[in-house]
Chains A and B, each alone.
Chain A
Amino acid sequence: MFLLLPFDSLIVNLLGISLTVLFTLLLVFIIVPAIFGVSFGIRKLYMKTLLKIFAWATLRMERGAKEKNHQLYKPYTNGIIAKDPTSLEEEIKEIRRSGSSKALDNTPEFELSDIFYFCRKGMETIMDDEVTKRFSAEELESWNLLSRTNYNFQYISLRLTVLWGLGVLIRYCFLLPLSVCVLPKPKEFLSKHVHLMCYRICVRALTAIITYHDRKNRPRNGGICVANHTSPIDVIILASDGYYAMVGQVHGGLMGVIQRAMVKACPHVWFERSEVKDRHLVAKRLTEHVQDKSKLPILIFPEGTCINNTSVMMFKKGSFEIGATVYPVAIKYDPQFGDAFWNSSKYGMVTYLLRMMTSWAIVCSVWYLPPMTREKDEDAVQFANRVKSAIARQGGLVDLLWDGGLKREKVKDTFKEEQQKLYSKMIVGNHEDRSRS
């Protein structure tokens, strides 16, 4: 019995030493570089290693699937059906043309077959549409060893499972405690420099590897910075590379606590939901802020909600009406290392943060685009669309006209009325042609 005693003290000693080592490592590799804004390049190495492992894992899976004759990938990566993009006019003309040899001299302006186009379009939309799939996480082609992204891949081999198990171990026992230790507490922040430091520490806590492009185009005072929105981490990413004043809706819960803490240090502008509807008030406060050249540039996400980073949805025109210089920023996450999209209807903030911390890493690229101003003959909506196209092009995202608010609301009737008008023109146009001849 007493033989165990020396072992006990040995274990305690070992534990003590390893903890000290851990904390020293923490200090040296994470906190100090964060304060001075320097990097050791360790994370880049980590990223390269991870990529190699993923490639190997995918190869294994493909081989395994071939042996078992499974279908590993979906046939259409852009949705579950093959879509035929024809317009109303083209299709109806084609249908009528194929039947014209059978018709009589007196071709009626309206054909019974005209409904085919609408039916087919309706069916296609029911099976798969462009909008609702933007509001759920992107499905990956290869598996990145996180079971949460495992939609199509099943058990293939023992080695793969072992690797996955190891991955789980590393992520939950190493990365998670690391992140939790390093995370700053929301106490009183003193100035914008401390703010910046804390953002940098956050970035390291989340093992985020960010590549900034064109930093010469970074937003300046008195301007507005607009970016596409995928998650609250966008804020951390941008704010760790510059000073911004934030604009946004007041949230409850953890977000609310953070927002209130931030307001004590810098002049951020938080709105109540009811106030957001009152656009004039928002515009007034923003204009006041922008005209004061000493104030920090405002950071706005004009989509109004989180989109899953495969596309850019309609920009709300409010921020483009003010007339200040707009600095567009494109943010693109690499989904292989961890999906950063926050599906607010599925996960709360805390669950989301937990998922972020237990992902391999958050890898993203940030492009600072050259500043844009509204031209004389452009209205706010056109300007917003111009900025949106620039951001979509740079980030390699799909440029959509649909409103992100469709996550929660319905489309207006005007779209349907447009289709009806188009069809009526077709029928009546035929009639006029014939009456002339």
Chain B
Amino acid sequence: MGNEASYPKEMCSPFEKGEIKRLSKRFKKLDLDSSGTLSVEELMSLPELQNNPLVKRVIDIFDTDGNGEVDFEEFVTGLSQFSVRGNEEQKLRFAFSIYDLDKDGYISNGELFQVLKMMVGENLKGWQLQQMVDKTIIIMDKDGDGRLSFQEFSALVRGLEIHKKLVVTL
């Protein structure tokens, strides 16, 4: 798999050496075919992940180069956004990218609808969802372009102490 010590310092922080070691063990355990990268299937093989409706979004965010596989560097970078030592800006960006499906820097009406649909499944009708989406955008869209930019998003979410909620202590 490669020596963890050879990774650049900037990528390793905010994790310590011991934490990187544990993550590397975890990565190897998840890598069922020992290919050196985690495919979507391998990640989806975790039973507890399968009942999480947003799992595909989270995995997409890990895969920064978009090749469908998560290598160890992407794995650590992805998890570092949830580190207790991560900064607020990082976490807000993460939350924003869950909604921003096409990664264009804006959350459109359609994208918000799709993510909401993932969370509720078939339990609410399309028009109910659309109502909620429209309402949210009207309230939050300050510059009136019909979509949410990162500033508008963080203006609302910033006050929620996100740095405490999006944290996993290693």
**Minimum CB–CB distance for B71 against chain A, Å:** 14
Between A98, A121, A123, the greatest number of chain B beta carbons within 10 A of the residue's beta carbon is seen for A123
Q: Is the CB of B132 within 8 A of A115?
A: no
Nearest A residue to B44 by beta-carbon distance?
Answer: A410
A91-116 interface bits toward B, Cβ cutoff 8 Å, 1 = contact, 0 = none: 00001001100101010111011111
B98 within 8 A of A: yes
Whether A122 touches B18, Cβ cut-off 8 Å, given contacts A115-B95, A127-B23, is no
Q: Is the CB of A102 within 8 A of B159?
A: yes
Q: Is the CB of A416 within 8 A of B98?
A: no
A279 within 8 A of B: no
Which residues from chain A contact B157 at a C-beta distance below 8 Å?
99, 112-113
Q: Is the CB of B136 within 8 A of A122?
A: no
Q: Is the CB of A416 within 8 A of B170?
A: no
Q: Is the CB of A71 within 8 A of B51?
A: no
Q: Is the CB of A114 within 8 A of B26?
A: no
Nearest B residue to A425 by beta-carbon distance?
Answer: B123
A158 within 8 A of B: no
Which residues from chain B contact A128 at a C-beta distance below 8 Å?
26
B115 within 8 A of A: yes
Between A119, A130, A406, A416, the greatest number of chain B beta carbons within 10 A of the residue's beta carbon is seen for A119
B116 within 8 A of A: yes
**Minimum CB–CB distance for B132 against chain A, Å:** 4
Nearest A residue to B119 by beta-carbon distance?
Answer: A423
**Minimum CB–CB distance for A218 against chain B, Å:** 36
A80 within 8 A of B: yes
Q: Is the CB of B124 within 8 A of A428?
A: yes
State in angstroms the CA–CA spacing of A74 and B170 once bound together. Answer: 11
Which residues from chain B contact A159 at a C-beta distance below 8 Å?
none
State in angstroms the CA–CA spacing of A421 and B115 once bound together. Answer: 15
Q: Is the CB of A80 within 8 A of B22?
A: yes
A120 within 8 A of B: yes
Which residues from chain A contact B3 at a C-beta distance below 8 Å?
none
Which residues of B from 85 to 142 have beta carbons under 8 Å from A? 94-95, 98-99, 115-116, 119-124, 128, 132-133, 135-136, 139-140
Q: Is the CB of A410 within 8 A of B54?
A: no
A415 within 8 A of B: yes
Q: Is the CB of A81 within 8 A of B169?
A: yes
Which residues from chain A contact B30 at a C-beta distance below 8 Å?
126
A339-364 interface bits toward B, Cβ cutoff 8 Å, 1 = contact, 0 = none: 00000000000000000000000000
Whether A115 touches B98, Cβ cut-off 8 Å, given contacts A110-B136, A420-B53, is yes
Q: Is the CB of B132 within 8 A of A421?
A: no
- Main DSSP-derived SS at the A contact region: helix
**Minimum CB–CB distance for A168 against chain B, Å:** 26
Q: Is the CB of A416 within 8 A of B160?
A: no
Q: Is the CB of B52 within 8 A of A120?
A: no
Q: Is the CB of B18 within 8 A of A71?
A: yes
Which residues from chain A contact B116 at a C-beta distance below 8 Å?
110
Q: Is the CB of A129 within 8 A of B79?
A: no
Which residues from chain B contact A420 at a C-beta distance below 8 Å?
53, 119-123
Q: Is the CB of B53 within 8 A of A132?
A: no
Q: Which residues of chain B have a CB within 8 Å of any CB of chain A? A: 18, 22-23, 26, 29-30, 43-55, 58, 79, 82, 94-95, 98-99, 115-116, 119-124, 128, 132-133, 135-136, 139-140, 153, 156-157, 159-162, 165-170
Q: Which residues of chain A have a CB within 8 Å of any CB of chain B? A: 71, 74, 80-82, 95, 98-99, 102, 104, 106, 108-110, 112-116, 118-132, 136, 402, 406, 410-411, 413, 415-421, 423-425, 427-428
User: Which 8 A/B pairs are nearest by Cβ-Cβ distance?
Assistant: A420-B121, A415-B51, A424-B123, A118-B54, A424-B120, A411-B50, A82-B169, A110-B132
17 contacts between A and B (CB under 8 A): A102-B156, A108-B135, A108-B139, A112-B153, A113-B165, A115-B115, A116-B166, A118-B52, A119-B94, A120-B165, A125-B46, A125-B52, A126-B43, A126-B46, A136-B29, A416-B51, A424-B120
